C-alpha cells in the first residue's frame, strides 16, 4: 500500500466525515470552544497515518532483505537482478523452491511445479521445454531456464492480486469486532442525529446553541474513533518492534492470530535443527565396494542440482575429492521430490537412485545410532547406505519449554524417518514421544491421528496439509513453521504461517511471518508480542465500548424525552480523554503475555454493558432531578460529567485488577486531571463547569452511590448470562 493510499484510508473515513458535519453545526451556532473534539479527531487521524507509514517503511525495508533476487542469463553469464527490473524476453534460471515471478516458457530443463496457489490443484505437474510456467506457481523439483513471455505488471499473478501471498484472509476476531462496531454505528448515526436534533428544538426553554451542542455531544459520544486509532497504532507499533528483531510481518493481523495459537506444528528441519547436516559414514552393501558406492553417489550429485541439506552435505563430502569420471552419458535426470523421496539419474545401461530407504529397497538398514539414512541403488539393487546427522539448535530445548509453559501443544511433522525425528524431538525436550510413520498407512484417519500422536514421519506435502486441517477441525488455532516447498501447502492451510528466512523463496512469499535471521528463537517473542497486543486491546476496548453503549442508549431515549441532554461536547472531550483515551493508551502498552482465552465478547459483555446501563440510569436520574429542582444547564452537565466519571473509575479499576504501580498511577492521574479541570479557574471556565448548591451536591452524591449498587447488580446479571452463553457453546 502506497503512502498516499495510507493517508487517504485514514483521512476519508465515515467518522471523520461525521466529525466535519458536527463541527460545521457547532460553528453555525457560534459555540467555538465546543470544537475541541475536531482537533482530537485530527490528532487521531495524524497519529494513525504516522504509525502506519512507520510500520510500512519497516515492512518495505525488511521485504528487501527477505526477497530473493531472480537470476537471469545476460551475455552468457548468470546475474541477479531486482525483481522490478524483470522484463519480457529475459532468460531466467529457476531451481527447487523458487516461485515463478513472471509468466514464462521453458527453454531448457525438466521440472515439476505446484500451481495450488493459482488453480487450487495440489498435484505436482511435470514441465518440459516449450511448456508454460504460470506466475505464482513454485518449483518442487528440478531446475530449468525459461523465457519471460510478459512484463511483470502483466503477469497472471499480478492479475490475481498476488495470489501466492494473500493466500488466506486473516481470521481476526479483533478485526471482526471493529468492523461490526463501525458498521452498526455508521448506520445509526444519521437517523438518530436527525431525530435528536429535532427533539432538542422541541424542549421548552432550550436555546438553539444548547440544542445543537447537545446533539453534537450525543453523536460524538457514540463514535469509538479512538478505539480504531488505538487498534491500528498498537498493531503498527508491534510490527515495528518485531521488525527490530528481524521478523517480517506480511499480514498485520497475523500478530493477533499467533497470539491465539494453542498448537504449533514444527517441521524438524530449520526449526529444531539448523538445517545443516554432516555425513557420518558410507556403508556399502554386501559384495559392493566403497568405491562403487562413492561413484554412484558422485554420478547422481554431479547431475542433480537441488541444494537440499542432504545433497549439500554429500557434495561437501564427495565432490571435492571425487576421482570418478562418468563413462556413460546421462540420458535423464530425476530431480528430488518430497512426494517421491528420492532423486537420481538414468544412463544407457542403468538407473541410479538415492533417497529414503523405505521407498527404494526392501532391505532395512541395521545401523547403530539414530541417524538420517539414505539408500543408494542401481537398477533397484542396493549399493549401500549413507548416514547423516542433523545439527540441533542450541536453544531448541528453551524454545520447546517456552511452548509448554505457555499452553501451546507441539506437533512435529516431518518427511524424515520416524527414528530420526523421534531422536531430534527427544533431544529438544518434546514430551510424549508417540510417533507414527505415515508411509505405513493406506487410508489414514487424520482426525484420529492428531489426537493420538505428536510426531509424524514420512509425511508428504499434501498429508501435512491434511494434518493441519484435522487439527483445525478440533477447534485448535494452529501455527505452522517451515522452510521448504514441502511445507507450503500446510502453511497455506494453517491459521498462521512462519517461514525460515534461509528457506525457499516460495515458502517466504507464502508465509505471514518471516524470520529473516532464520532464528527460530524469535517465535516466543512474536507470541509474547501478540499476547501483549491482544490482551491489552481487549481491556482498552472495554472502556471505549462502555461509552458507546450508554451514548447510543441515551441518544435514542432523549429523542423521546422532553429533558435537556446532560452533556456538552467540550465536557465529553475531557471525559473521553480522562476516562478512556489516556488509560486505554497506557494499558495497551503494558507488558502482558498471559494466554489469550478467546473470550473477547464475554469480557465486553461483563464490563461494558453493566457500565453502559449504569451510566444510562444515573444520567436519566440526574436529568429528572435537574428538571424537578430547576438546575441550570451548566449544573446539569457538571453533575452528569462527575457522576459518569465516578462510574467510569469503577470500570478502570475492574479491568486494571490486580493493581500494580502503573495501574494505580492511572487511577490517581485520572482523578487528578478531573479535579484540576474543576478547581483551576481557567480550566473550570473553559470546560463550562460550575459549583453546585446543596441540592446539587446531595443529588450527585446519592446518584453516584446508587451507581455503584446498580453496576454491581448489572455485573452479576451479565456475568451469569455470559457464563451460560459460553457454557452452551462449549
Taking the C-alpha atoms of residue 271 and residue 265, their distance in angstroms, rounded to an integer, is: 10
Answer positive or negative: Cα dihedral of 240, 242, 248, 251: negative
| pLDDT higher than 70, residue 726 | no
Residue 440 is placed in which grid cell?
Answer: 505405513
Please report which confidence band the pLDDT of residue 472 belongs to, taking 50, 70 and 90 as the band edges. Answer: very high
Distance CA 335, CA 140 (A): 9
Kindly tell me if the per-residue pLDDT of 100 is higher than 90: no
Weakest-pLDDT range from 44-58, 223-237, 661-675: 223-237
Of the candidate ranges 1-15, 108-122, 395-409, 615-629, the one whose mean pLDDT is the lowest: 108-122
Q: Which of 328-332, 382-386, 393-397 holds the top average pLDDT? A: 382-386
pLDDT given at position 202: 78
Confidence of residue 190 (pLDDT cuts 50, 70, 90): confident
Q: What is the 3-state secondary structure (H, E, C) of 513-525?
A: EEECCCCCCHHHH
Share of the chain above pLDDT 90, in %: 21
User: Does 2.70.150.10 match the CATH number of domain 71-159?
Assistant: yes
The CA distances from residue 318 to 238, 278, 309, 365, 398, in Å, are 47, 12, 14, 22, 35
State whether CATH 1.20.1110.10 applies to domain 3-57+169-242+527-725.
yes
pLDDT in tens, 255-289: 788 888 889 999 877 778 877 888 889 999 988 99
pLDDT score of 377: 95
pLDDT band at 657 (very low <50, low <70, confident <90, very high): confident
Q: Which of 75, 115, 109 is nearest to 93 (CA)?
A: 109
- Please report how the helices 418-428 and 396-405 are oriented relative to each other, as an axis angle in degrees rounded to 10: 80
Kindly indicate the confidence band of residue 172, based on its pLDDT and cuts at 50, 70 and 90. Answer: low
Average pLDDT over residues 655-663: 88
The pLDDT value given to residue 447:
93
Model confidence at 722: pLDDT above 90: no
Highest mean pLDDT: which of 227-236, 427-436, 510-519? 427-436
Contact assessment for residue 258 and residue 252, using Cβ atoms and an 8 Å cutoff? no
Mean pLDDT confidence for 483-489: 77
pLDDT at 674 > cutoff 90: yes
* Confidence (pLDDT) at 167: 38
Residues 568-586: tens digit of each pLDDT: 888 888 998 899 888 988 8
C-alpha cell at 237: 507499533
Write out the three cell numbers for 524.
516466543
Query: How does 409-423 read in b/e, with b if 16+ C-beta sit within 10 Å?
Result: bbbbbbbbbbbbbbb
Question: In angstroms, rounded to a whole number, what is the distance separating the alpha carbons of residues 670 and 678?
Answer: 13
Q: pLDDT tens, 397-452?
A: 888 999 998 889 999 998 888 888 888 898 899 988 889 999 889 889 999 999 99
- Say whether pLDDT at 453 is over 90: yes
Q: What is the mean pLDDT of the chain?
A: 83
pLDDT at 162: 44
Q: Give the CATH fold of the 277-391 domain.
A: Calcium-transporting ATPase, cytoplasmic domain N (3.40.1110)
Q: Where is mean pLDDT largest: 133-142, 312-321, 446-455?
A: 446-455
**Helix crossing, 14-29 with 36-66: angle to 10°?**
160
pLDDT at 1: 56
Q: Which CATH number fits domain 261-272+393-494: 3.20.20.70, 3.40.50.1000, 3.30.70.20, 3.40.50.1580?
A: 3.40.50.1000
Q: First and final CA of the chain: distance in angstroms?
A: 40
* Least confident interval from 129-138, 319-328, 693-702: 319-328
Highest mean pLDDT among 122-136, 194-208, 234-248, 650-664: 650-664
* Predicted TM-score of the model (pTM): 0.71
Residue 490, pLDDT above cutoff 90: no
**Where in the chain are the domains?**
3-57+169-242+527-725, 71-159, 261-272+393-494, 277-391
Amino acid at each position: 500500500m502506497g503512502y498516499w493510499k495510507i493517508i487517504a484510508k485514514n483521512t476519508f473515513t465515515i467518522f471523520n466525515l461525521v466529525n466535519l458535519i458536527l463541527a460545521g453545526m457547532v460553528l453555525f451556532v457560534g459555540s467555538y470552544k465546543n470544537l475541541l473534539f475536531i482537533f482530537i479527531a485530527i490528532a487521531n487521524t495524524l497519529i494513525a497515518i504516522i504509525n502506519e507509514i512507520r510500520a510500512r517503511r519497516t515492512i518495505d525495508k525488511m521485504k528487501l532483505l527477505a526477497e530473493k533476487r531472480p537470476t537471469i542469463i545476460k551475455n552468457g553469464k548468470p546475474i541477479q537482478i531486482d525483481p522490478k527490473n524483470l522484463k519480457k524476453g529475459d532468460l531466467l534460471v529457476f531451481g527447487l523452491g523458487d516461485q515463478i515471478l513472471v509468466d514464462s516458457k521453458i527453454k531448457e530443463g525438466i521440472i515439476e511445479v505446484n500451481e495450488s496457489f493459482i488453480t487450487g490443484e495440489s498435484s505436482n505437474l511435470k514441465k518440459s521445454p516449450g511448456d508454460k510456467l504460470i506466475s505464482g506457481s513454485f518449483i518442487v523439483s528440478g531446475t530449468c531456464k525459461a523465457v519471460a513471455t510478459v512484463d511483470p505488471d502483466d503477469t497472471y499473478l499480478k492479475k490475481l492480486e498476488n495470489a501466492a501471498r494473500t493466500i488466506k484472509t486473516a481470521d481476526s476476531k479483533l478485526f471482526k469486532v471493529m468492523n461490526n462496531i463501525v458498521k452498526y454505528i455508521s448506520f445509526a448515526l444519521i437517523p438518530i442525529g436527525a431525530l435528536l436534533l429535532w427533539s432538542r428544538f422541541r424542549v421548552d426553554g432550550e436555546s438553539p446553541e444548547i440544542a445543537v451542542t447537545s446533539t453534537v455531544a450525543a453523536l460524538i459520544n457514540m463514535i469509538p474513533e479512538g478505539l480504531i486509532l488505538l487498534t491500528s497504532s498498537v498493531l503498527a507499533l508491534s510490527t515495528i518492534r518485531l521488525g527490530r528483531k528481524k521478523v517480517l510481518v506480511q499480514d498485520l493481523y497475523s500478530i493477533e492470530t499467533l497470539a491465539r495459537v494453542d498448537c504449533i506444528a514444527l517441521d524438524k528441519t530449520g526449526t529444531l535443527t539448523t538445517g545443516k547436516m554432516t555425513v557420518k559414514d558410507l556403508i556399502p552393501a554386501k559384495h559392493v565396494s566403497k568405491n562403487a558406492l562413492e561413484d554412484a553417489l558422485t554420478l547422481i550429485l554431479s547431475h542433480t542440482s537441488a541444494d537440499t541439506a542432504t545433497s549439500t552435505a554429500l557434495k561437501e563430502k564427495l565432490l571435492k575429492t571425487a576421482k570418478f569420471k562418468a563413462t556413460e552419458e546421462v540420458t535423464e535426470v530425476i530431480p528430488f521430490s518430497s512426494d517421491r523421496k528420492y532423486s537420481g539419474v538414468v544412463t544407457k545401461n542403468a538407473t541410479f537412485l538415492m533417497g529414503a530407504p523405505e521407498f527404494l529397497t526392501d532391505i532395512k538398514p541395521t545401523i547403530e545410532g539414530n541417524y538420517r539414512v539414505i539408500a543408494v541403488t542401481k537398477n533397484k539393487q542396493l549399493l549401500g547406505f549413507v548416514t547423516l546427522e542433523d545439527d540441533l539448535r542450541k536453544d531448541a530445548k528453551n524454545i520447546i519449554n517456552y511452548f509448554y509453559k505457555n499452553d501451546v501443544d507441539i506437533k512435529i511433522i516431518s518427511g524424515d524417518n520416524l527414528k530420526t525425528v523421534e531422536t531430534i524431538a527427544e533431544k529438544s525436550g518434546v514430551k510424549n514421544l508417540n510417533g507414527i510413520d505415515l508411509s505405513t498407512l493406506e487410508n489414514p484417519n487424520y482426525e484420529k491421528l492428531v489426537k493420538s500422536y505428536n510426531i509424524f514421519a514420512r509425511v508428504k506435502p499434501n498429508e501435512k496439509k491434511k494434518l493441519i486441517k484435522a487439527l483445525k477441525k478440533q477447534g485448535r488455532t494452529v501455527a505452522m513453521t517451515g522452510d521448504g516447498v514441502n511445507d507450503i501447502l500446510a502453511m497455506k492451510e494453517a491459521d498462521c504461517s512462519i517461514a525460515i528466512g534461509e528457506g525457499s523463496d516460495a515458502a517466504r512469499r507464502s508465509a505471514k511471518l518471516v524470520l529473516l535471521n532464520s532464528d527460530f528463537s524469535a517465535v516466543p517473542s512474536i507470541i509474547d508480542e501478540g499476547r501483549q497486543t491482544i490482551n491489552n486491546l481487549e481491556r482498552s476496548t472495554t472502556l471505549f465500548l462502555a461509552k458507546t453503549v450508554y451514548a447510543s442508549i441515551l441518544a435514542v431515549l432523549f429523542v423521546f424525552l422532553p429533558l435537556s441532554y446532560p452533556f456538552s461536547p467540550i465536557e465529553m472531550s475531557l471525559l473521553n480523554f480522562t476516562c478512556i483515551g489516556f488509560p486505554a493508551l497506557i494499558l495497551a502498552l503494558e507488558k502482558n503475555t498471559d494466554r489469550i482465552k478467546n473470550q473477547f465478547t464475554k469480557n465486553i459483555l461483563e464490563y461494558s454493558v453493566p457500565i453502559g446501563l449504569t451510566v444510562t440510569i444515573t444520567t436519566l436520574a440526574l436529568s429528572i432531578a435537574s428538571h424537578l429542582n430547576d438546575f441550570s444547564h451548566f449544573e446539569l452537565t457538571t453533575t452528569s460529567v462527575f457522576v459518569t466519571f465516578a462510574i467510569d473509575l469503577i470500570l478502570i479499576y475492574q479491568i486494571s485488577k490486580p493493581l500494580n504501580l502503573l495501574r494505580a498511577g492511572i487511577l490517581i492521574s485520572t482523578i487528578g486531571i478531573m479535579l484540576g479541570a474543576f478547581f483551576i479557574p481557567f480550566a473550570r471556565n473553559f470546560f463550562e463547569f460550575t459549583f453546585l448548591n446543596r441540592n446539587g451536591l446531595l443529588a450527585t452524591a446519592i446518584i453516584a452511590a446508587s451507581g455503584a449498587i446498580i453496576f454491581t447488580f448489572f455485573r452479576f446479571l451479565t456475568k451469569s448470562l455470559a457464563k451460560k452463553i459460553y457454557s452452551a457453546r462449549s
